[in-house]
Amino acid sequence: MMLRAVGDCTTGLMLRGFMPYIRYQGVWSPGSIRDQVSYADPHAPCYGGHERLVADARRLAEEAHTDAGSRAQAVAQYIADHPYPGLEHVGGVGFVDAIPDSANCELVSAAEYQRLRSEIEKANNEYQVKRAETLSKKNDPSRRAAPEHEKLGWRTRVWIVSYAELEHHIAYPVGKEAAAYMRVRQDNPTGSGSTVQLIDIYHSSKGDVQQALLEGVDLADRVADLLALTGYGASHVVGVLGTTVPSCKVAQEFHISIFGARIRNTAVSVGPSQFPAAELDPEERLALRHVRDGLSAHLPTVAFAAFWNALEREAEDEARVKNLKRMARCKNCGELRTVGLDTKSVFETFYKEAGVDPSLFDRHRSKRGTIQHGGKLPTSGYLEEVFQDLPQVQVAAVAASAKKAGVAPRTTSYLSTCWPVIVLSCRARSDGTITVQNTSFGVRAALNTLPQGICGDAAREGFFGMDSSPNVDPLSFPPIER
């Protein structure tokens, strides 16, 4: 077999079996051989400018038309009205195993391949420069909101990654007393096709700046929910810069609330003998997964739900094995009948074995319903309320799951924490700089337990506090009124 060395400025030299150089047209159009190309130029415009152009065309077409035929015509017209140099090379150049029987491709020589590759790279680079210049002109983190939205009192600024993109500096309704503005848009460095957007949420709050931060974070999640729904894809809040006033005046004090308090726990060395060797069935592994989710959760509400799910999984399995049935009396005839498994009695047994009062079951079940189905805001008051019950549910879930895994049920205590909030006092100077001073910090903490066989006998130390020089992202500051 004849071998040929093909050069590539990004991947270096590589030996391949003889594969024809080929230029192909079309990207998603019928007849495209894109899927048959085993090596495609990663810099081809169809992976950059063309996708962006088509996305813009589809978005505008969906807004203006309801039927598929009119939308398709609108997309084609938009592309025709917005010429992009890379469209001369829609598709790309690369190698194929065999020459396809298609009118949308042609064989090219090695010299032609290099020439086309250079043209495609040039078109793509020009597009990237033009796109960066356009975004630079539109991106403006210092823009202000409409007066009616600034009067709501607070601005929470977050970074959100999403496939859906908001228009720059236009108000999007989030609730009766909340609106979102997109200030900065950047391409996601992961190359997933999603974008990173800096979003300002203007909202009201009945509490102080700490309470406003908690409510602003909930509103940010609501924005991400709506972006995921309208963008047909994932959306995540990836950074909370903080909550502050919508604007500030020179020499006038204002506050910023951020998540920045330091929480540190000493590590614990774990030896091979502390790993249980029990073979668990899928149901028991699922319960352990819920426990892990609860121990790793960043919110007490999320932890509470995860531990309850672990207990529920273990209780259903136990009730099924022991054939424990829940009976109820028919309202019409008065006869007793089976209405499912008696998981409550198993829950109460788990509570007793973990040293938890079984009478707390009904209260915990009600709280679980509120968390998973009621939709309460994660306010500081509600988090404190959940924190009161979290340790009991946690120790019951961990003890029940650890017993199935063959871990000794001896326990040790540790602190679990959440919402490390810092409040900063700030003042703007006439030169545009802002001075920052620490005011207070708060970390919610609760005493919890874990089986000692899991966490070991080593003493653990915890520390929480804040730096003497606060680390504040400059983007968290509000615009200064002149």
What's the confidence (pLDDT) of residue 77? 86
Strand partners, 6: 14
- Place 12 in a pLDDT band, splitting at 50, 70 and 90: very low
Cα 313 → chain centroid:
27
What's the confidence (pLDDT) of residue 233? 83
pTM assigned to the model: 0.73
What's the confidence (pLDDT) of residue 8? 40
What's the confidence (pLDDT) of residue 3? 29
Kind plus residue range of the DSSP H or E element containing 340:
strand 336-341
Percentage above 70 pLDDT, the chain: 76
What's the confidence (pLDDT) of residue 462? 60
- Place 198 in a pLDDT band, splitting at 50, 70 and 90: very high
- Say if CB 439 and CB 423 are below 8 A apart: yes
What's the confidence (pLDDT) of residue 114? 86
- Place 197 in a pLDDT band, splitting at 50, 70 and 90: very high
412: helix, strand or coil: strand
pLDDT in tens, 347-396: 888 888 888 899 999 999 999 888 888 777 777 677 778 878 888 898 88
Q: Is the pLDDT of residue 220 over 50?
A: yes
- Place 29 in a pLDDT band, splitting at 50, 70 and 90: low
Distance CA 177, CA 7 (A): 60
- Say if CB 210 and CB 252 are below 8 A apart: no
What's the confidence (pLDDT) of residue 422? 84
What's the confidence (pLDDT) of residue 447? 60
What's the confidence (pLDDT) of residue 159? 96
Please tell me which of 95-104, 173-182, 296-305 the model is most confident about, judged by mean pLDDT: 173-182
Q: Is the pLDDT of residue 109 over 80?
A: yes
Distance CA 354, CA 393 (A): 10
Ramachandran angles phi, psi of 284, nearest 5°: -70, -35
What's the confidence (pLDDT) of residue 44? 64
- Place 262 in a pLDDT band, splitting at 50, 70 and 90: low
pLDDT in tens, 144-187: 999 999 999 999 999 999 988 899 999 999 988 999 999 999 87
Contacts of 405 (CB under 8 A, 6+ apart): 276, 278, 280, 284, 288
Which residue blocks in 65-109 are alpha helix, DSSP H?
Answer: 68-81
pLDDT in tens, 397-442: 888 887 776 665 445 555 666 667 888 899 999 888 898 887 776 6
- Say if CB 307 and CB 313 are below 8 A apart: no
Instruction: Out of 53-57, 133-137, 185-189, 276-280, pick the least confident.
Output: 276-280
- Say if CB 346 and CB 319 are below 8 A apart: yes
Q: Enter the tokens of residue 296.
A: 């790793």
More confident residue, 269 or 163: 163
What's the confidence (pLDDT) of residue 384? 75
Q: What is the mean pLDDT of residues 307-320?
A: 88
pLDDT in tens, 450-462: 555 444 445 555 6
Q: What is the mean pLDDT of residues 286-295?
A: 86
Instruction: Out of 46-50, 202-206, 215-219, pick the least confident.
Output: 46-50
- Place 27 in a pLDDT band, splitting at 50, 70 and 90: low
Give the burial class of 202: count Cβ atoms within 10 A of its Cβ; 0-12 exposed, 13-18 middle, 19 or more buried: buried
What's the confidence (pLDDT) of residue 84? 64
Q: If you count DSSP H runs as helices and E runs as strands, how many of each does the chain have, helices first?
A: 11, 20
- Say if CB 168 and CB 139 are below 8 A apart: yes
Q: What is the mean pLDDT of residues 110-135?
A: 84
Enumerate domains of the chain plus CATH numbers.
3-138 (no CATH), 147-246 (3.30.70), 262-481 (no CATH)
